[in-house]
Structure 1
Amino acid sequence: MKELFALLRQGNKSAFIAGIVNGIISILKATAFFLTGNVAMFAEMLHSLGDAANQFFVFIGSALSKKAPTARFPNGFGRLVNLVLLGAVLIVGIMSYETVKEGFHHILHPNESKGIIINLTVLGIAVLLEGFVLYKAMKEVLHETHIEASGFAIISKSFGAYKNAKPATKLVFMEDSVATAGGVLAIIAILLANFTPFNQAEGIASVLIGLMMFYVVGRVFLDNAAGALGEADPDIQFKIGNMVMQDPDVRDIEAITVLKEGEDFHVEVEVELDATMTVAQADVVKDRLVKAILEEKGVTDVLVEFDQDDGFTTWKDSKTLKEDDPKV
């Protein structure tokens, strides 16, 4: 139990905060729905309930993925967060289906909207809370992707960088983006249904919210299916390759692989050294490279192998080749 609590302290904080906030919001929306029977509020209730469950799953999965390797699982538990997320999207998928189904029913059989004050109050509070969580997720995205921004630039830059964030942070960002947009959409639909004859507006809003949820399900499933299989990261691969090529004793890179292990990176690199170098000298180079690569954020495991210089250039990024290298 002590180990479990220690692991939970390492869980993704954005997911934990989002789970609590969405849990509170889902209770508020459920109360409003049962008081008014508003179909747009029904869609928002399911949306927030699915998000809360999903984000708690993510928090637990991200925490358990930090568990140290064991004799039975020597490669560690890094990909556990991907497996947990694959299971979590099933919940959102079911919620999405129910949301779309109820929306179509309301479009075909529209009912007069009521309880506008209750609905708008609850949705207004929800949008503010979800907007707060989204803002925190935006800042976390920028932190994880090493991008500096302030003011309104936080919004634009986070949308451009969220795909490179950790799986848990990416999920929170996507879900709360959709949740905030869905809340605004529901408010517009309720206003239209109350002040115009267009009673189908709430049903249309419900369908659109459900479709946005389906989009999140699809993105999360594809991203984490790739992560569970072991996805290469070419951007980090070239960044580390460039760094390795700057070492004065490295003549070339024969091969380099960077695999995502959940939120962490596993690096394998085979470098070419001068054939006259001794084992002791090569060992010094290895220690230097391992230390430098481990300083890269997110890298937790490094394997460095050596081969003698064959006189041919394998590393293709010419910008990283030394000017005095005879192979250029």
Structure 2
Amino acid sequence: MTGLFTLLKKGSKSSLMAAIVNFVLGTLKLVAYIFTGNVAMFAEMMHSYGDAANQLFVWVGSAVSKKAPNEKFPFGYGRLVNIVCLFAVIIVAILAYETVLEGFHHVMHPTHQEQTMQQFLIAVGVLLIGVVLEGTVLYKAGQEVLEEVHKPTNGIHPFTTSYANIGRAKPATKLVFMEDTVATGGGVIALIAIVIARFTGWTQIEGIVSIIIGLAMFYVVFKVFMENAAGAIGRADEEMEVHASKVILEHPEVSDIKRLVVMKEGEDKHVEALIEVRNHEFNLRQLTEIKKEITNNLLQQPHVTDVNIEIMEDDGLDDWKSGNGSSINRNIYE
């Protein structure tokens, strides 16, 4: 049991925080629905509870994915977080569909039910609380994004520069960040729509906003699904390959890179490289020292957990710059 709790502590903090916040919001919206009888508030309540279950699922998956490798799974459980995120976006897709469908029905068949001022204030108050809480989770997720890419996390950076770096974030963090971007933005425009509908009588605007939010959720589904599907299958990280090549070529004894692959296993990255050295007279101890230095430098890079380096003598060809990926039939020092 102690081991389980220790493992769960390694889960995505932003996912856990989002799950708690959405559960609280769902409960607030349930109370608001009881007092107002507003069907839209009931839908929002179900949406929040669905998001809470979704984020809890992601949190557990991200924790279990950090379980240590064993004989059965020698590369660890890293891809599990990709699989979990795939299941999570299915939930989001269902919610997005229901949101768009409800919005469409509301546009085609608008209701003109009169709300008392008390009911209006309750609805506005709950949405305001929702925007604040969702914005807090979004800020925290933005901080995690920036921490993972070693960028400043203070001030308004989590609301600004985090969007430019979201592509390099962990799958669970990215899912939470994108979902809460939609949730926070959706809460703001839903609040505006309720106010406009109240004072102008144009109730169709609530349906239009619902459709917009649903389409934004579908965009999140598409982006997250495509990335995690590739991650579950196993894909090369081209951006990290470029960065790793710079780290390797910085070593004074390395003349070229014959082959370099960086594979993503969930949040973890595995580096395999075949490099060429300048001096043909190196003994085994010197080659081992070069290999150790390069390996240590690569392990210091974000999310790199495993490095396999092979060394061969310089063949006089500029393979890395030319992009030649042909097979090698030469002596290789390990």
- Asked if these proteins are the same fold (TM beyond 0.5), I'd say yes
Q: Match of 2:280, as an amino acid?
A: A
- Could you say what secondary structure the match of 2:51 adopts? helix
The root-mean-square deviation of aligned C-alpha atoms, in Å, is 1.8
* 2:192 equivalent in structure 1: 188
* 1:209 equivalent in structure 2: 213
Change (3 A) 1:75 1:149: closer
Asked if 1:305 corresponds to 2:310, the answer is yes
Asked if 1:124 corresponds to 2:128, the answer is yes
For residues 113 and 145 of structure 1, the distance between their equivalents in structure 2, rounded to whole angstroms, comes to 50
Among candidates 294, 299, 304, match of residue 294 of structure 1: 299
The answer to whether the 8 Å contact 2:147/2:153 transfers is no
Q: Which runs of 4+ in 1 moved over 4 A?
A: none
Alignment of 1:12-91 (within 5 A): 12-91=12-91
* 1:93 equivalent in structure 2: 93
Asked if 1:177 corresponds to 2:187, the answer is no
Q: Match of 1:225, as an amino acid?
A: A
For residues 226 and 159 of structure 1, the distance between their equivalents in structure 2, rounded to whole angstroms, comes to 21
* 1:320 equivalent in structure 2: none
* Gap regions ≥5 residues in structure 1: 318-328
Q: Match of 2:320, as an amino acid?
A: W
For residues 314 and 264 of structure 1, the distance between their equivalents in structure 2, rounded to whole angstroms, comes to 27
Change (3 A) 1:228 1:113: farther
Change (3 A) 1:209 1:113: farther
Change (3 A) 1:46 1:89: same
- Matched residue count: 318
Q: Match of 2:205, as an amino acid?
A: A
The CA deviation string for residues 144-195 of structure 1, in whole angstroms up to 9 with x for no partner, is 1111254334422111111211111111110111000111111111112111
For residues 142 and 192 of structure 2, the distance between their equivalents in structure 1, rounded to whole angstroms, comes to 25
Q: Percent identity?
A: 52
The answer to whether the 8 Å contact 2:103/2:211 transfers is yes
Among candidates 196, 199, 204, match of residue 200 of structure 1: 204
TM-score normalised by length of structure 2: 0.90
The answer to whether the 8 Å contact 1:8/1:60 transfers is yes
For residues 129 and 77 of structure 1, the distance between their equivalents in structure 2, rounded to whole angstroms, comes to 32
The answer to whether the 8 Å contact 2:149/2:302 transfers is no
* Gap regions ≥5 residues in structure 2: 323-334
The answer to whether the 8 Å contact 1:47/1:179 transfers is no
Asked if 1:262 corresponds to 2:266, the answer is yes
TM-score normalised by length of structure 1: 0.92
